[in-house]
Amino acid sequence: MVELKSESFYLKQGINQLSNTFIKTSKTDWQDQDAKQAVVATGNFPKGNYTLCTRLIEHANDRELANPCRNATVGDLIKRQGDKSKYKNISAYGSASVDFMYNDPKPVFTELPNSYVRIEAEQGLSVYSFPIAGQFRYTTEKTNYKRDVDMFTLAFDRSRFERNVKELILRKVIEAQLKKVKLNEEDLRTLTEYENLESKVKSAALQKVDQEIQRISSELKSLAQEKVTDATSKQKAALQKKYNQLLEQKRKFDQLKNRYIQLKSTYDKWITSGRLEELKKMAYDPPQFDDPKQMLSLLKQYGAYTGMNKFLFNIKELSIGTAFPVYSPLTLNGTQIFGANFEWNPGIFYIAASGGKVQSAVSQSVDSSFAKFEQKMAGLRLGIGRIYSNFVSMNIVRFWDIDSSISTGAYQELYPEQSWVGSTDFQLSFGKNRIVEFGGELAGNYNNGNRYDTLSYPSQNLKSPELDRI
């Protein structure tokens, strides 16, 4: 039905979340135009069962790394009046999977165990238009020095909320369209009849009928002058039958032509009075949902930008547990944390805050080459403008190690560190569909390295017996 190709992207070490903020579509090839129209109009495919497949290709050599597929079911998007609407009440949705991998012999140059089990679940609950999504992953892939592979997230389901909003807008649009059609039903029927008759009257079929009538009429006159035989009688009867059929067709064409002349007079009057332009404006134009600004405009137009819809529309991210905050390319760009992430963009103001654990500790007793402190982070982003359109923002992020997370000896070579990263970035876009877009970022990093700051440990080392003998 449709094939999408993304731009090239880099996978970071560890777990990567392939979200729409990370993966950008570079090409869309539609094979089914009806499905395309449905997606443009409603934001989803028509009702039915679908198979979604993804191919992960290595950019350097076009080698296929993975090709997972999953089944999905799309239900009715429009709820008729009187039906029990899931959108207004409570509905559950989601999927789950269990994967088992066994390798024999064990592949070389890999950190994965010989065999492992991975259990994943994505469950959602929509309560009176407030969708909550939960993601869970448990895997035996973790090792003593690779621990942060499990995941648990409880978050505001932004994509589900946008789908609910699209359904709401679509219902409003169709209701308004039906009212306009009902008020102008007679004139619209007349216009449709005129346009259909215009194509028939101007078709070449009518001219061919006239030519065929003249030809058969000439043949009948010629046969009338010949001697009557069984063969000429049969030929004359067949021609006469066809001649009568063509006359009947011409009579019907003449009726259509006379009706067309009547409607043409009305059509010309509509052009002069401006009525034709009014009727053509009533043609159904599917709303554009791919631009958040257009969606916001439609919500306000139909009086739906109030209450819960208004509050939730401005929330870009609200998650607890495993999160992947995205601020800017030079500060936070999808780093996995276990904590909380929040983004809010009411009006022209934008605020984002996140904090949590970046990595778990690995003690030196496990493997001194992989030893590391538990690391945490806290970030804040403040801006002016719409984050999906034109904005300017300031970002600050701090990372620091927890020195008590692992035990260290007197002659340790591993020290807890911390760093600060700050930046300001902007984006400007022009055109209805953001045809022209550019932006930039200026960032700086302050890193004081060792949090012990060389004040106590080195001074003790200088008094050691080993140094006294030098």
Q: What is the rounded distance in angstroms from the CA atom of residue 159 to the CA atom of residue 401?
A: 35
Tokens of 360: 């778990």
pLDDT at 141 over 70: yes
Residue 112 pLDDT greater than 70, yes or no: yes
d(C-alpha 261, C-alpha 271), whole Å:
15
pLDDT category at 87 given cuts 50, 70, 90 is very low
pLDDT at 457: 46
Which has the higher per-residue pLDDT, 25 or 332?
Answer: 332
Alpha carbon distance 426, 421 (integer Å): 17
Output 188 or 131, whichever has higher pLDDT: 131
| Predicted confidence (pLDDT) at residue 396 exceeds the cutoff of 50 | yes
329 preceded by a cis bond (ω within 30 of 0): no
pLDDT in tens, 320-359: 999 999 999 999 988 899 999 999 998 889 999 999 999 9
Gap between the Cα atoms of 171 and 41, Å rounded: 11
Higher-confidence residue of 290 and 380: namely 380
For 310, phi then psi, to 5°, come to -65, -40
422 by DSSP, 3-state: which?
A: strand
Average predicted confidence (pLDDT) for the chain: 80
| 226-252 confidence digits (pLDDT tens) | 777 777 788 888 888 888 888 888 888
Rounded mean pLDDT, 395-409: 86
User: pLDDT confidence of 415, banded at 50, 70, 90?
Assistant: confident
The distance of Cα 450 from the centroid of its chain, to the nearest Å, equals 44
Domain ranges of the chain: 2-82+288-468, 185-270
Helix (H, G, I), strand (E, B) or coil at 2: strand
Burial 391-412, CB ≥16 within 10 A → b, else e: bebebbbbbbbeeebbebeeee
What pTM was computed for the model?
A: 0.58
Most confident of 1-10, 24-33, 172-181: 1-10
Q: How far is CA 58 from each of CA 7, 65, 363, 378, rounded to the nearest angstrom?
A: 12, 7, 35, 34
Residue (of 423, 450, 446) closest to 332 by Cα position: 423
Closest listed residue to residue 93, CA positions, set 55, 65, 122: 122
Inter-residue contact 3 to 25 (CB < 8 Å): no
Q: What percent of the chain has pLDDT over 90?
A: 17
Summarised one tens digit per residue, pLDDT across range 254-267 is: 888 888 888 888 88
Q: Is the pLDDT of residue 308 over 60?
A: yes
